[in-house]
Structure 1
Amino acid sequence: MSLAISVQHAKKHYFQDVPVLRGVDMEVKEGSIYGLLGPSGCGKTTLLKCIMGVDVADAGLIQVFGQSTPCSAPLLRIPGPDIGYMPQELALLLPFKINELFYFYGKLNGIKNNDILKQIEFTAELLRLPDCERQILSLSGGQKRLVSFGASIIHDPRLLILDEPTVGVDPALSAKIWQHLVYLSTERGTTIVITTHYIEEARLANRVGLMRAGRILCEGEPESLIREKRKKILEEVFLELCQRDLQLECTDERFRKHSNDVEEIAPKTQSNVDRNDPGAANSNDSKHIINWTHLMSCIFKELIVIMRDVPLLVFTLILPIMQLSVGLITFGGNPSGLSIAVVDYDTSNRNESLSNQYLRYFGIGDWTDIKHCKSLQSGNNYVAIIYFLTGFTNSTLNKLNSSIKLPSEDASESSIQLTLDQGSPLIADLVVRKAKTAYNKLEENFVSKYNSNGALRVAAINITEPLYDRVNSLTEFVAPGTVAFLIFMSSTLFSSTRIIGERKQGIVERLRISGVSGSTQILAMIIVQSFILVIQVITLIMTSVIIFGTPLEGNLYLVILIVCLQGYTGIFLGILVSVICTEEAQVLQLVFGVMEMNYFLSGIMWPEESLPDFLKSISNYLPLKTPAKALRFIHLRGWGFKYSDVRGGIFVNVLYGTGFLLLGILLRKFRKI
């Protein structure tokens, strides 16, 4: 019987000084079951990753069916359809139905549609699974583990690797899994490698390897090892070997000898494999070619997961609209219903007094004259107090009548005294503007009626029509940049949390072992997220323009283009964030912190001219500032592509998006994730 797996003197270190594999030797015959036994952390999973070609040993030689892995030769594709893998985690797409999951993995591994349906029926019957139309999310823990096992054998692989398949399951389910393994080995000729730290259950294997601290202590048939060591059970054999190895380790003699023996052998790493080997020659080249079957399958996966994850869909589509609506309602509107107190000592008839006319111009209709000013100092929510002195009407008439020389002591009575609550500068400024506007109207009305001097009718400052469209409130200033900000943040959060979530669940690694490259998985996510992005952009722009009345003087398609580019910049930033962070909580802290600073420094909610000089220089390099400015100019000024500020909004997004994507790719390669 020929060898399916041959491992010779395999060594592997992490961070150069943490040994994981210490010269491992291992042989697995074709069509047999090999039990790799050992405690957690002894290097079993690392060894399997090297065998499957998703990791590379630092030294030694690893061959599968006579080829070095990774291998994409015509007769052997590992990672790919020639291997089936069941990780210790479930690594299941929970929104899928059972038959959809089997179809997905069957399609990934190149099975034709008709054959997939037959395989689904056969696998479901073999494992006695529940109704295949049931969603995986609704299954019990044991049923989910059987489904995970079924996904690893749906394409009838030559080599099946199971990493702790029976951990945490009841004895009945464990026995059922082993029954299927024996069937696959004896009836279908599948080579099986199973890792476990439950020693006794491995007695059903044809051969076992006992592993500790990165080394295989011994190999052999379970019953032969028990007889040879004169023990009753396999666990006692393993315990004796571990104790002996521990004693030798304490004296350090065996380690020195073993290390010297390994160094004497020329370490043959994967990079030293003969380049005439077709597997070695093709494995790397294939990574740069898009496999359209894999891409379409991953797009199918993304669509199913998103469409059936209702909370995620609501969060992605509805929450940005709610955030924009709340933001535009609560920020930037003109204050109304202000509580203003009036103290009128004017002795003229109230209906004919200029103080009464002034208050009407101010916008105060019915008002109550409050003479006791001390009562206003506490317990009331007045934003301003308007005082009219005793001779206000007569003194004002005399002042406006150029033919009468007004004594200085009377001129002071023509002044309106305004006391403001400076606790709210915005409201105080609004009251001052309204007060000046009302007095100008009062003056214009008097001059037009009673004074023939035309020079008095000409204002000292004549405010003409605005340069561009009139902005009626700060809300219209804020809205364009806020739309870009929400798209940017939403896209970043969506892409980063999706990637990290699937990586934590083991789905990313399982797909890699099925031959799906990381770039294909990310490309599929970008394609599906593009549809969501377009919907987000259109709904947010409609909400801003139609519901809240934000002016749109320029080209709508140009606005959509810039906001979509801002979304892609967010997607690529999310890819970079997914490399930096390992947990969703880290993503939330990083993204919200970065986005908050971007929002405040990019001149979205307040003019950038108000920033200190050193912050202005920083804000010029932020990914939101120039696009937000371009959107504001398109909305409020009607500018088009011929203006450099608008072109800058496009260029900055392309520059940052490309930079984030390239940096994310480089970091992914560096961290090997």
Structure 2
Amino acid sequence: MDEGPHKTKVVDLALYNEFTISDTLSFFGRIHGLTSKETQARMDFLIDFLDLPQKTSLVRNLSGGQKRRVSLGAALLQNPELLILDEPTVGVDPVLRAKIWQHLVEIVKTGKVSVIITTHYIEEARQANVVGLMRNGHLLAEGPPDEVMKMHSATTLEHAFLQLCENLDQVSSKRDSTSQEALEKSQSFESGRDESRPILAIGPGAAEEVPKYSADWKVRAKHVMPKWRNIAALMIKTLVRMKRMPGSLCFQFLLPVIQVSLICLCVGGDPKGIQVAVVNNETSSSSYSQSLLSFLDNSSVEQVPLSHSEAFDGIYNGEYWGIIGFGKNFTSYLTKRMLQRHVSEEVVDGGSVHVWLDHTNRQISIMLQKKLHDAFQAFVENKLGSMSYLASLPIKFEEPIYGSQNTDFTRFVTPGAVLSITFYLAVGLTALSFVLERKEGLLDRCWVAGVSSLETMLAHLFSQLFVISVQIIMLLLFILLVFKMPNEGSLVLVIILIVLQGITGISFGLVISAAIDDEQSANQTALGIFYPNLIISGIIWPVECIPYPLRYVSLALPQTYASEALRCIMYRGWGLSRMMVWRGFAVTLGWNTFFLILATVILKLRT
């Protein structure tokens, strides 16, 4: 059951282990629309009536019988018009069993309450107005307990049930007939039964026209629109569960900080301590080769002077990432190259720095090339001064329009990484929500209590917003204040975009949780989507590098345009007037709406 007026109550051992007895009864009191005063009064009565421990006791610490009594108390809390109980006295001592039956009989007599009970304790059913005896899914007899016993000349209901079972077995052994005929023979009291009483029909029967249900549009709208009372109750439930697990909550708050710190510290920076062999055939300390090597960044490049053979043996053995070689006449030949208009090939070759690199690691190779280029430019400016243009490339890089010339790859990765961390941590918050509650019977109990799928979705969304809000605040504090990432644009737009990505992650997690029944499959789905999305969303590498058939898939993902929008806001200072910015917001909102609707529909279809 999902939507519409719910005046029935089905009880099963479906409780929140992180709740106390008081939390449990208060939660169901809120859902049923009881005031705090009414809930407290009913709670005090039920705790005393069901002989429960202190109301501050955690459900997970209770025994099986105590849990069953708490579950029964939740069912009895609101005095429903129809109460359906599945073996409510199992695991209960005889004294309490008698009290429960006495209470049920009393509320039926004094209130407008009907009670349907299933039990395998046949004799306790004698207190019911009507009893139905079933075997293998077939109704053997139905009527007042005294009438059933009288028809079978039995002193107890158990004796009457035994006779019915024996009659059924005898008929089955004597006649090789259909199961329908055997059942008809087994119902020995059928001829004396009041035909006005309903009984289970076996086999095809006469088709009866069922009147179509119709309701006024106002009634329909009332049941379709979410009740904020239920949403608030579910939100409080989720927040209380978080409060009962402080270790898990702290880990959820710290995990994004740890992840973004690892990204800023370990991704995109220049390699340090890269060993490079230096083969310098010049012996003079005032040579150009020594001067050039002095301008090389020693924090990144560690120079190891070696002979020609030792250097090549080392790079072949993987000991060095490159070799820098100078000829014995490097200084004189380089001078001729810079001052003379026409020189021989021998002078050109002898006045050149020869470099051999290990290109198996492209990032290190690119870094070494850049460091050598920077060192040579500094060397030329030092030696030639105002004439340095003679030895410079005829390409001049002006001041960048956006960013700086020393921008590292970390700045490219960080905005997309922040969105990815927020999105997938939000997925993790909700991917197992419905899976676990469905498995423990908690979700069904909420449906029966009158909660709709839309209310459940909204409650999970709003309650998890608290967690992702704290995560986002800590993420921004670290990337802006600790790691000094620039933000040239509106901080409000940055926060809104990250929050929307978090909400989209929550919505996607709810889709997984609504569609999948077991934890392993839900986890596999969430993890399986993470890596492809990270690769093709332009988070760690530009989208322009993706081949075209796959690029269209990339552009349709929730984080591709959003990552680009966040970079434009932070590094270019752009606002919503730019298409690259508002497009990121629009795509995020579109995916968020789609995921929420999809999760609601799936949940609705499965209830």
Which of 503, 506, 516 matches 2:441? 506
1:216: Cα distance to partner?
Answer: 2.3
Q: What are the residue-to-residue correspondences of 1:93-172 with 2, within 5 Å?
A: 93-166=16-89, 169=91
Which of 448, 452, 460 matches 2:385? 448
Which of 423, 432, 435 matches 1:497? 432
Q: What whole-Å deviation, never above 9, does each CA across 1:359-397 have from its counterpart, x for those lacking one? A: 111224985421133541465531112111221122112
CA distance in 2, matches of 1:327, 1:245: 77
Is the contact between residue 511 and residue 599 of structure 2 (CA under 8 Å) also seen in structure 1? yes
CA distance in 1, matches of 2:218, 2:84: 23
Is the contact between residue 96 and residue 305 of structure 1 (CA under 8 Å) also seen in structure 2? yes
Structure 2 residue identity aligned to 1:446:
K
SS in structure 2 at match of 1:465: coil
Moved more, 180-189 or 255-264: 255-264
**Match of residue 251 from structure 1:** 178
Is the contact between residue 103 and residue 116 of structure 1 (CA under 8 Å) also seen in structure 2? yes
CA distance in 2, matches of 1:457, 1:389: 19
**Match of residue 484 from structure 1:** 419
Count of residues paired in the alignment: 579
**Match of residue 504 from structure 2:** 569
* Pair 1:360–1:543, CA change in 2 (3 A): same
Q: Does 1:395 align with 2:333?
A: yes
Which of 259, 277, 281 matches 1:345? 281
Q: What whole-Å deviation, never above 9, does each CA across 1:413-470 have from its counterpart, x for those lacking one? A: 2222212122211111111121122223223333227x6xx86166411111112012
CA distance in 1, matches of 2:233, 2:485: 42
TM-score, length of structure 1 as denominator length:
0.79
Q: What are the residue-to-residue correspondences of 1:650-661 with 2, within 5 Å?
A: 650-661=585-596
CA distance in 2, matches of 1:101, 1:188: 23
Which of 194, 207, 212 matches 1:272? 212
1:651: Cα distance to partner?
Answer: 0.4
Moved more, 475-484 or 358-367: 358-367
Structure 2 residue identity aligned to 1:492:
V
Which of 453, 457, 462 matches 2:396? 462
SS in structure 2 at match of 1:476: helix
Q: Identify, as 1 or 2, the structure richer in strand.
A: 1
**Match of residue 197 from structure 2:** none
SS in structure 2 at match of 1:645: helix
**Match of residue 14 from structure 1:** none
**Match of residue 289 from structure 2:** 355
Q: What whole-Å deviation, never above 9, does each CA across 1:324-349 have from its counterpart, x for those lacking one? A: 222222221211111112111124x1
Which of 328, 351, 354 matches 1:414? 351
Q: What are the residue-to-residue correspondences of 1:198-597 with 2, within 5 Å?
A: 202=125, 205-212=128-135, 214-222=137-145, 225=148, 228-229=151-152, 233-234=158-159, 236-237=162-163, 239-240=165-166, 243=169, 251=178, 254=181, 262-268=204-210, 272-273=212-213, 275=214, 284-347=220-283, 349=284, 351-364=285-298, 367-371=303-307, 372-373=310-311, 375-377=313-315, 381-402=319-340, 405-448=342-385, 456=390, 459-470=393-404, 472-597=407-532
1:220: Cα distance to partner?
Answer: 3.3
* Pair 1:282–1:124, CA change in 2 (3 A): farther
Q: What whole-Å deviation, never above 9, does each CA across 1:142-187 have from its counterpart, x for those lacking one? A: 21111111111122334321124355x3xxx253553233111333
1:613: Cα distance to partner?
Answer: 1.8
Which of 85, 89, 100 matches 2:10? 85
CA distance in 1, matches of 2:171, 2:547: 68
For structure 1, the residue ranges without an aligned partner over 5 or more in a row are 1-53, 56-69, 73-78
Structure 2 residue identity aligned to 1:99:
S
**Match of residue 193 from structure 2:** none
CA distance in 1, matches of 2:220, 2:133: 33
Is the contact between residue 9 and residue 82 of structure 2 (CA under 8 Å) also seen in structure 1? yes
CA distance in 1, matches of 2:223, 2:383: 84
Is the contact between residue 566 and residue 581 of structure 2 (CA under 8 Å) also seen in structure 1? yes
SS in structure 1 at match of 2:319: coil
For structure 2, the residue ranges without an aligned partner over 5 or more in a row are 185-199
